[in-house]
Chain A
Amino acid sequence: MFRQAKWDEPTVFELSRPGRVGYTMPKPIEDVEVKIPEKLRRKSELNLPELSEPEVVKHYTRLSEMNYGVDSGIYPLGSCTMKYNPKINEEIAGHPGVAYVHPYQDERTVQGALRIMWELEGWLKEITGMDRFTLQPAAGANGEFTGVSIIRAYHLDRGETQRTEMLIPDSAHGTNPASSAMAGFKVIEIPSKDNGTVDLEALENAVSERTAGLMLTNPNTLGIFEDEILEIAKIVHRAGGLLYYDGANLNAVLGKVRPGDMGFDVVHLNLHKTFSTPHGGGGPGSGPVGVKDFLKDYLPVPLVGYDEENDRYYLDYNVPKSIGKVKELYGNFAVMVRALTYLKIMGREGLRETSEIAVLNANYITRKLKGTKGYELPGKELRKHETVFSAEPMKKETGVKALDVAKRLLDFGMHAPTIYFPLIVHEALMIEPTETVSKEELDAYVDALKRISEEAYTNPEVVKSAPHNTAVKRVDDVLAAKRPIISWRMYRELKEKGEIDI
């Protein structure tokens, strides 16, 4: 039986004791006084905690023990591709040639770093069928913003100022419309058919001379391959729009199918999903963007170039119509190093086997769970890397919601799937097992979901009151939003006023 560590760990502020230090500072070169103008000198209290190093280490070790990661067990968050993060990635990323290198160093002193970026770009080009990549975006959404900004710049450059609409399926990730809006587009939502794929008729009706592009995830967020993708591409291109590939789901077709061959013009990838770099509790990620040749002049600066004659890598700022920068410097380099390490180990056949097993695992769960009372499988049965069930029948018949199922799964030492997404499925449970979990873990996951179904129909309270075995009981997020306590400073103020009792 799973029991998560439970430490009742105070905050660092509560652990503080006067006079303790957790560091040693080198001495200054010269002990001369440097006067800061009086009005700029810090006079306000600096309420930082005072702890020794062993206390700091124990505190954060205890906190880590109250956190569930990929290394703890199955973590099948749909659309997040929580695959195993190989340890060798960390080893390579920890090289002094990564950590202790300044981004403005003379190119001759950073040939290794530039080569890593050049090689990574080469892999990504072949994997996606694109002609040029920027590695600058820090995350998927930052990549989306880059991609749609490129689409915007392309149309403006051609004088097509009327192309102000971005088409986005209703099953899309929330970042798609948000990124498009940030780049100044009006978002037009395209409805999905009952089987979860794009409604071609609706798409035909939506395209016009105002269409800038269509953002698409393939396979889509139900894990269903858009089998009419070539027709979709034709419709969008005929209308003068461009096709954008959200790479969140690339793990489904990695090493088998290239977005470029499906007709996509712009692609973003998530190195922290498909290419095994760890998510770090929310980031850092890395969201490279690839484009077809006709869009390469719009990419952010700098690109990485290679002068074959002199065997020299360089930063290329000569990108005539560049949209500018989407992040400082060159992107999350330490993440790129990890991704390249992974790619080199996997190689051509390893990448293909990756998507094959990821798809096998998702279909295994689909078939094994299908027919279980309370869960319903919307859309087509054949899935790619993820599957979506609806707990709507369970909710109607027992009052147990997708949220309760998710919480109950935690009790078995398993992470919940993504819930309530995609929005087009009611009470959605979106499960993406990835290729790095074993058959036994899949069986155990299906068994747990079946057991929860049984409980829902016989003893629903045990599900509704879950979780029971985690570090804390169910957390009140309504209270958190109603009376925000965002920092220790706020907490102290409210506490002094007697307004809270936490």
Chain B
Amino acid sequence: MGRHYLPNLPQKGEMLREIGFESIDELFSDVPEGMVKEFDLPEGKSEYEVFTELNEVLSGNKTVLEMPSFLGAGTYFHYVPAHVKYLIERSEFLTAYTPYQPEVSQGMLQALFEYQSLIAELVGLPIVNSSMYDWGTAMAEAALMAARHTKRKKFVVPRALSPEKKEVLKTYTAGPGLETVDVPWDERGQLDVEKLKEAVEGAVGVYIEMPNFFGLLEENIVEIGEIAHEAGALFVVGVDPTILGIVEAPGELGADIVVGEAAYFGNPMNFGGPRAGIFAVRNDRKLIRQMPGRIIGMTKTEDGKRAFVMTLQTREQHIRRAKATSNICSNEALVAVAAAIHLASLGPRGLRELGEVILKNTAYLKRRLSEVADVPFDGVNFKDVPVKFRVPYDVIHEGLLENGIHGGYYLGKHFPELGEAALFAATETTRKEWIDELIEALKEVA
């Protein structure tokens, strides 16, 4: 099947004859004897059959549209305006490759330049690449970059770090033998600054998040940056960019490298992927030369007009091979363009409103949760709120699910010191009645 994708199937014989071959087998005569096999795979199907079959399979998923969900912990249900989806489905964007030929790829190049520019405004650093795979890999690459820059062997991260990111960091740092050191949180859920001072000596970089994994704004972020710099380490800030309308740009707070998740704009959750990692650095030649990933630059055509092109490629694998700053080739260009379109639609006012609505909805969730359970940390939360329960969390989870509600992300597995705790999250999509139903249900099960 799938013959509708193969225009030359009926012309096969004619084409073979034209170029002097007897058969298709002759085209494969260089394959060793006996290696060509009949595969044990199903027969092809019509498009209609596959359409109905996969629709049915996917309908087996329960979506957050059908079931109020309080899951966050790094993936959030944001609303994507319809026009964003339609624009990135323009097939000239969708079906293009990496813009190796800039003269026929100005559209994608300019869109990616705009993505870099919009992120630069958000994070307060002027040098942004055109995407990494996701926040986690961007952070891991930042650690490797910091190691190349400082030639040291230790990267400092908060203990309150997403297990996803922690595992990615572990894998990326295994080869170069970069050690990772955890700094615990204090009684308010903030990074313990005194413990950081002990850990920072000889570090390549210090990593911190805005907000942190517990959804809290790190109140000592400026001081943390200073501690990093005094120790000769780079200050790496991971940021949820949806907060940057209301919280200061990390570039203004001393960050040397900013990483984060661009897919929170313009992209649905997609069961976790694709995403797009933000990667930004200060305007420092030495840092730029160590950057991973593709970068789009503005330049001129031979007749003096403005144009865009991939640039600073001598850092990259196709030129430097084993000496490249990273192996990344395919990135997440279309995800980044979707983020850019969403950001261009929001504008400064929209981004501020988005941040404020999330902040207020999170505050409401936190306040209501504190009526029925222990909310361990004060301070300002953005999206995620940790909650401690007196009964095992799986009992609560089951009870909520029976009420048609999906509870939060269980913390006990990776943070046993928190006991039977979970992260509950709100965004601009969270509705009051969902939270009220949640609280009612928790009154019964918690």
Could you tell me if B97 and A256 are in contact, using CB atoms closer than 8 angstroms? no
| A67-B108, A82-B97 known; A253 vs B42 contact (CB < 8 Å) | no
Min distance, Cβ B298 to any Cβ of chain A, angstroms: 4
25 A/B residue pairs, CB under 8 Å, sorted by A: A12-B340, A27-B357, A28-B356, A28-B357, A64-B93, A68-B92, A68-B96, A88-B50, A104-B409, A105-B71, A127-B41, A182-B144, A325-B171, A328-B134, A330-B273, A344-B50, A347-B2, A353-B3, A360-B16, A438-B8, A472-B307, A473-B302, A487-B116, A489-B117, A502-B306
A331 at the interface (CB under 8 A from B): yes
CB proximity of A359 to chain B, nearest CB, Å: 5
Closest residue of chain B to A183 (Cβ to Cβ) is B175
The residues in A between 372 and 387 inclusive whose CB is less than 8 angstroms from any CB of B are: 380, 382
Q: Which residues of chain B come closer than 8 Å to A26, judged between CB atoms?
A: 79, 357, 428-429
Please, which residues of chain B bring their CB within 8 A of the CB of A300?
171
- Of the four ranges (under 10, 10 to 19, 20 to 34, 35 or more), the interface on chain A belongs to 35 or more
Q: What separation, in Å, do the CA atoms of A184 and B8 have in the docked complex?
A: 46
B323 (CB) vs chain A CBs: closest residue = A181
Residues of B within 8 A of A352 (CB): 39
Are A348 and B121 CB-contacts (below 8 A) given A69-B95, A100-B63, A100-B268?
no
Closest Cβ neighbor of A228 among chain B residues? B32
A493 and B6 CA atoms in complex are apart in Å by 52
Q: Which of A9, A184, A347, A477 contacts B174 (CB 8 A)?
A: A184
Which residue of A46, A84, A479 is within 8 Å of B5 (Cβ)? A84
B2 touches A279 (CB 8 A): no
> Provided the pairs A341-B50, A347-B43 are in contact, do residues A85 and B219 lie with their beta carbons within 8 angstroms?
no
Among A51-59, A236-244, A453-461, the stretch that binds chain B is A51-59
How far is the CB of A437 from the nearest CB of chain B, in Å?
7
Is the beta-carbon distance between A486 and B116 smaller than 8 angstroms? yes
Query: Is the pair B102, A40 in contact by a Cβ cutoff of 8 Å?
Result: no
Q: Interface readout for A1-31 with B: 1 if CB under 8 Å, 0 if not?
A: 0001000010111001000111101111111
If the complex has contacts A363-B19, A477-B102, are A325 and B168 also in contact, measured as CB distance less than 8 A? yes
- Complex CA distance for A68 and B103, rounded to whole angstroms: 9
Look across to chain A and name the residue whose beta carbon is closest to the beta carbon of B163: A325
Q: Which residues on A sit within 8 Å (CB–CB) of B300?
A: 475-476, 479, 502
Within 8 A of B (CB), among A278-296: 278-285, 287
How big is chain B's contact interface, by range?
A: 35 or more
Residues from chain A with a CB closer than 8 A to the CB of B401 are: 106, 108-109
> When the two chains form their complex, are residues B90 and A328 in contact, meaning their CB atoms are under 8 A apart?
no
**CB-based contact B61/A47 at 8 Å:** no
Report the separation of the CA atoms of residues A284 and B397 in the bound assembly, to the nearest whole angstrom: 34
Looking at the complex, which one of B31, B92, B114, B221 makes contact with A11 (CB distance below 8 Å)? B114
- In the complex, whether A211 has a CB less than 8 A from a CB of chain B is no
Q: Residue B364 contacts which of A30, A61, A103, A255 (CB distance < 8 angstroms)?
A: A30
Question: For the complex, is A35 an interface residue (Cβ under 8 Å from B)?
Answer: yes
Q: Which of B114-153 contact A (CB under 8 A)?
A: 114, 116-122, 124, 126-128, 130-131, 133-137, 144
